[in-house]
Amino acid sequence: MRVGVLTGGGDCPGLNAVIRAVVRKGVNTHGFEFVGFRDGWRGPLEGFTMPLGIEQCRGILPRGGTILGSSRTNPFATDDGPERIEANLAAAGVDALVAIGGEDTLGVATRLAERGVAVVGVPKTIDNDLSGTDFTFGFDTAVNIATEAIDRLHTTAESHHRVLVVEVMGRHAGWIALHSGIAGGASAVLIPEVPFDIGKVCEHVETRFRSEYAPIIVVSEGAVPADGSGMSLQSGEKDAFGHVRLGGIGDRLAGEIERRTGKEARAVVLGHIQRGGTPTAFDRWLATRFGLQAIDAVADGETGVMVALRGTTVIRVPLAEGTDELKVVSPEEYAEAQVFFG
Ligand code: F6P
């Protein structure tokens, strides 16, 4: 059997660990051959491939990024996209595809599976917003990077008696903000799921200064003020899946805090640092187990599924289960963290 592998959407630490596990088990246990598709769905769409075997996977376990490259190409945005993919898979002699991606990449995989393409999905994203799985790989690394940043910001904020606002990624889900904010002892965590009250945020700032500490406010890039002033956008630009590029809320918030409290406030945008570099041990472990289970699903002829973590077990669920609905922070889980605000 010849299996194609691709990585799509925003990259995240652990992609190479999945590729390595898929290939190692595929070759050694199942006797499969592989072909790498470059740059997400652009690979099968344009017949853009690279050799993929044990050789190409040597030494990649701890490496961030993806040896296959990635893109946000949406084949369904092109008239004959799906047909071209089917033709290119047939031309490359590919019997099944392992698609490693988030909501968008796996959304495409779901639609191709409905057309009869044999595809198995592997859920990745630093945002951790895919339903069907307890965790996606990449998230733990992003949270650790954000937590380390918060730890460092505490000491400099205290030296200068400043407010530091830390803007983290996560798109429409506040998981990175919530987990790193709890781990880093933030004075407030603002998430997209719950519009924030700027007056309350300023109260938390004042309270923290009264206790001789400097406040750290963690804000998710998709967080919005409750007064309905709208989402803060870096630009109106949209990607091929229709997502607007977020960013800028950290600066706006720091300006507003400074104006209202009279305390100096600065913003730090962590940005792509959260997505780059080496994966944590947890992400390497999860990515490896996802890869092993994905290639076993191919060997079992069980396609149209996505691998998923439930507790400590990796299971297979229908692809649509992972992409139908975004997994966001519940009001209860957010309320739990609020005891530490201020
Ligand atoms: O989905 C992962 C993610 O990093 C989001 O947290 C963020 O909003 C988006 O991708 C940024 O995408 P890009 O790197 O394409 O600007």
| DSSP one-letter string for 293-339 | HHHHHHHTT--SEEEEEETTEEEEEEHHHHHSSB----HHHHHHHGG
Q: Once rounded to an integer, what is the mean pLDDT over residues 126-136?
A: 96
233-251: burial string, b at 16+ Cβ within 10 Å, e else: eeeeeebebeeeebbbbbb
And the tokens for 194?
């719950």
Bridging pattern class, strands 188-190 and 163-168: unpaired
How many C-beta atoms surround the C-beta of residue 280 within 10 A? 19
**Prediction pTM value:** 0.96
Of 57, 61, 64, 112, which is closest to residue 276 (Cα–Cα)? 64
Phi, psi of 338 (to 5 degrees): -70, -15
Is residue 6 over pLDDT 60? yes
Q: pLDDT by residue (tens digit) across 138-154?
A: 999 999 999 999 999 99
pLDDT of residue 121: 98
Average pLDDT, rounded, for the chain: 95
Q: pLDDT by residue (tens digit) across 309-339?
A: 999 999 999 999 988 899 999 999 999 999 9
Residue 271 CA to ligand 1 center (angstroms) comes to 8
Is residue 231 over pLDDT 50? no
Q: d(Cα 179, Cα 331) in Å, to the nearest integer? A: 14
Band of pLDDT at residue 235, cut at 50, 70 and 90: low
How many C-beta atoms surround the C-beta of residue 83 within 10 A? 12
Residue 245 CA to ligand 1 center (angstroms) comes to 8
The residue contributing the CA closest to ligand 1 atom 13 is 10
Angle made by CA atoms 63, 65, 71, in degrees to the nearest 5 = 160
CA dihedral 287, 8, 320, 236 (to 10 degrees): 130
Active site annotation includes 129:
no
- Give the position, in ligand 1's atom list, of the atom nearest the Cα of 176: 6
Is residue 52 over pLDDT 50? yes
Per-residue CA distances from 199 to 256, 258, 261 (Å): 10, 12, 10
Alpha helices in the chain, H assignment, sequence order: 15-28, 42-46, 81-91, 103-114, 139-160, 175-184, 198-210, 249-261, 281-299, 319-323, 331-337
pLDDT of residue 237: 80
Is residue 236 over pLDDT 70? no
pLDDT of residue 243: 85
Q: Once rounded to an integer, what is the mean pLDDT over residues 216-223?
A: 97
Give percent of the chain with pLDDT exceeding 70: 97
In order of start, what are the domains of the chain with their CATH numbers? Answer: 2-137+279-323 (3.40.50.450), 140-275 (3.40.50.460)
Is residue 233 over pLDDT 80? no
Residues 6+ apart with CB under 8 A from 293: 307, 314, 315, 316
For residue 112, the Cα-to-chain-centroid distance in whole angstroms is 22
Residue 26 CA to ligand 1 center (angstroms) comes to 31
pLDDT of residue 230: 46
Give percent of the chain with pLDDT exceeding 90: 92
pLDDT of residue 72: 96
SS3 percent helix, strand, coil of the chain, rounded to 5, is: 40, 20, 35
pLDDT of residue 319: 95
Higher pLDDT, 68 or 324: 68
Q: d(Cα 232, Cα 198) in Å, to the nearest integer? A: 14
Angle made by CA atoms 319, 105, 334, in degrees to the nearest 5 = 75
Residue 243: DSSP 8-state: P
What are the pocket residues of ligand 1 if the criterion is a CB atom closer than 6 Å to any ligand atom? 10, 102, 125-127, 169-171, 221, 245-246, 275
